[in-house]
Amino acid sequence: MKFTLLSLFPEILESYFSSSIMARAVEKGIVSYRNINIRDFAVDKHRTCDDAPYGGGPGMVLKAEPLAAALDFAGAPHLRTLCPTPSGRPFTQDYAKSLSAEEEIVLVCGRYEGIDQRVIDLYVSDEISVGDYVLSSGEIAAMVIIDAVYRLLDGVISLDSLAEESFVEGLLEYPQYTRPEVFRGLKVPEVLLSGHHANISAWRREQGIMKTRKYRPELLAGRKGYEI
Ligand code: ADE
Q: What is the pLDDT of residue 98?
A: 98
Atom of ligand 1 nearest to the CA of 138: 1
| In the predicted structure, residue 216 carries a pLDDT above the cut 90 | yes
Query: Would you say 49 and 38 are in contact if contact means Cβ atoms under 8 Å apart?
Result: yes
Q: What is the pLDDT of residue 3?
A: 98
Output the CA 110–ligand 1 centroid distance in Å.
9
CA-wise closest residue to 35 among 57, 62, 12 = 12
Mean pLDDT of 161-176: 89
Provide the residue range defining the domain that includes 193.
164-220
228 in a structural domain = no
Encode burial over 6-34: b for 16+ CB neighbours within 10 A, e otherwise: bbbbbebbeebbeeeebeebeeeeebebe
42 in a structural domain = yes
Rounded to 5°, the CA angle 23-157-202 comes to 150
Q: What is the pLDDT of residue 127?
A: 97
Please count the structural domains in the chain. Answer: 2
| Residue among 12, 134, 136 to mutate when testing ligand 1 (max atoms within 8 A of CB) | 134
Are 142 and 175 members of one domain? no
Tens-digit pLDDT profile for residues 71-112:
999 999 899 999 999 999 999 999 999 999 999 999 999 877
Which residue's alpha carbon is at the smallest distance from atom 10 of ligand 1? 85
Tens-digit pLDDT profile for residues 195-204:
999 999 999 9
| In the predicted structure, residue 227 carries a pLDDT above the cut 70 | no
Are 173 and 118 members of one domain? no
| Residue among 91, 140, 145 to mutate when testing ligand 1 (max atoms within 8 A of CB) | 140
Give the chain's largest Cα–Cα span. 71
CATH number at residue 197: 1.10.1270.20
Output the CA 90–ligand 1 centroid distance in Å.
10
Tens-digit pLDDT profile for residues 138-160:
999 999 999 999 999 999 999 88
Mean pLDDT, all residues of the chain: 95
Q: How far is CA 32 from CA 23, 86, 174, in A?
A: 10, 27, 33
CA-wise closest residue to 6 among 151, 123, 103, 96 = 123
| Residue among 135, 136, 140, 144 to mutate when testing ligand 1 (max atoms within 8 A of CB) | 135
| In the predicted structure, residue 35 carries a pLDDT above the cut 70 | yes
Are 49 and 125 members of one domain? yes
Q: Enter the pTM of the model.
A: 0.94
pLDDT band at 174 (very low <50, low <70, confident <90, very high): very high
Q: What is the pLDDT of residue 228?
A: 61
Atom of ligand 1 nearest to the CA of 134: 3
Which residue's alpha carbon is at the smallest distance from atom 6 of ligand 1? 86
Are 9 and 56 members of one domain? yes
Are 119 and 22 members of one domain? yes
Q: For residue 108, how many other CB atoms are within 10 A of its CB?
A: 29
Where is the domain boundary, 98, 116, 150? 150
